[in-house]
Amino acid sequence: MGLEVLPLHESFVAEVTGIAPTLDVNDAIFKEIERAFYTHSILVFRDLNMSPEQHIAFTRRFGPLHIMEPLQFNLPGYPEVMVVSNVEDGSRPKGLKRAGWGWHSDGEDKIIPNAASFLYAIELPPEGGDTLYADMYAAFAALPPDIQAKILGRRARASRIELHNVHYPHLPALTEQQKRERPDVHHPMTRKHPRTGWTSLYVGRWCIDVDGLPKAEGEELVRYLQDFAVQPRFVYRHRWRVGDAVLWDNRCTQHCATPFDDTKYRRHMLRTTLEGEAPMQAERAVVRPAPHQWVAAAD
Ligand SMILES: O=C(O)CCC(=O)C(=O)O
Ligand SMILES: [Fe+2]
């Protein structure tokens, strides 16, 4: 039984098979997995059986971990593991409810966004609760040339402060202290991936307007790009099974959790998160090449 990498979509996402359900792999195999991750942007693992220690240990091989705050949504004793869940312990929520019900990449509204996230399914509802993923290299490549030229080298403003109530209407409003901790950020609209060098479209749901453009024009451009990015041709739908884990690269993909009846069913997931870097501006377009040219891309 050897490692296999099987594409699940024509442009991104691959399933990795032939490895231990604990993801305890040697360095040579890990190198293959890492290469597959940077070329396919998203890896799906199935039938896993990982302890929180194993989940953390595998993720850490890609780089330093990010501890999600506030710590109230992390697994007790394991600050590196965030709980995405509607399950309650008495009346206390065990995790963040309705996380990511809308297209985004993790941390896009922070100064240092998260590089990658690794979500592991522990308990699932019988219907609903799929996760959608969209390929931002493909979205960038498919943009009309005049729009590419308009956004290359530009920045857009992401605002937790203005959009928190829009995206998290079920959560309390931000306190003044939280607002100070989550100031507006101005990220490149076209992002250069630090490992592959390829250009992705970097505009998600926390984005609001564009630096250097009149407000209304910037808002309209942001809405256009948000809609363009998530057209069905760029999207892979993950239908979860218990024991699945999906590792996604937030620098070149977006994702969107789809709803389920959370008054009736339980959905309980554990997530580790990789520390990121300040997004690099793509000053010129470097379109992701065809798969047969990927071999050396991530080395
Ligand atoms: O629950 C999901 O399917 C994804 C939630 C999400 O956006 C995340 O964990 O980053
Ligand atoms: Fe997310």
pLDDT over 60 (residue 297): no
Q: Collapse the DSSP code of 57 into the 3-class scheme (helix H, G, I; strand E, B; otherwise coil) and give the result.
A: helix
**Predicted TM-score of the model (pTM):** 0.96
Pick from 114, 131, 230 the residue to mutate for probing ligand 1's pocket: most ligand atoms within 8 Å of its CB: 131
Per-residue confidence (pLDDT) for residue 290, from 0 to 100: 84
Residue 129 CA: which ligand 1 atom is closest?
3
Per-residue confidence (pLDDT) for residue 298, from 0 to 100: 53
Decide: 14 and 6 in contact? Cβ < 8 Å.
Answer: yes
Does the beta carbon of 99 lie inside 6 Å of ligand 1? yes
Per-residue confidence (pLDDT) for residue 222, from 0 to 100: 98
Does the beta carbon of 114 lie inside 6 Å of ligand 1? no
Higher-scoring residue by pLDDT: 196, 90: 196
Give pLDDT tens digits for 144-188: 999 999 999 999 999 999 999 999 888 899 999 999 999 999 999
Q: Domain 4-293, what fold?
A: Double-stranded beta-helix (3.60.130)
The H or E element spanning position 253 is: strand 253-257
Share of the chain above pLDDT 90, in %: 89
Could you tell me the sign of the dihedral formed by the alpha carbons of 193, 116, 238, 158, in that order? Answer: negative
Does the beta carbon of 84 lie inside 6 Å of ligand 1? yes
Residue ranges of domains in the chain: 4-293
Decide: 158 and 108 in contact? Cβ < 8 Å.
Answer: yes
- Name the β-bridge partners of 181: none
Residue 258 CA: which ligand 1 atom is closest?
3
pLDDT over 80 (residue 292): no
Alpha-carbon gap, residue 96 to 9, rounded angstroms: 29
Give pLDDT tens digits for 42-70: 999 999 999 999 999 999 999 999 999 88
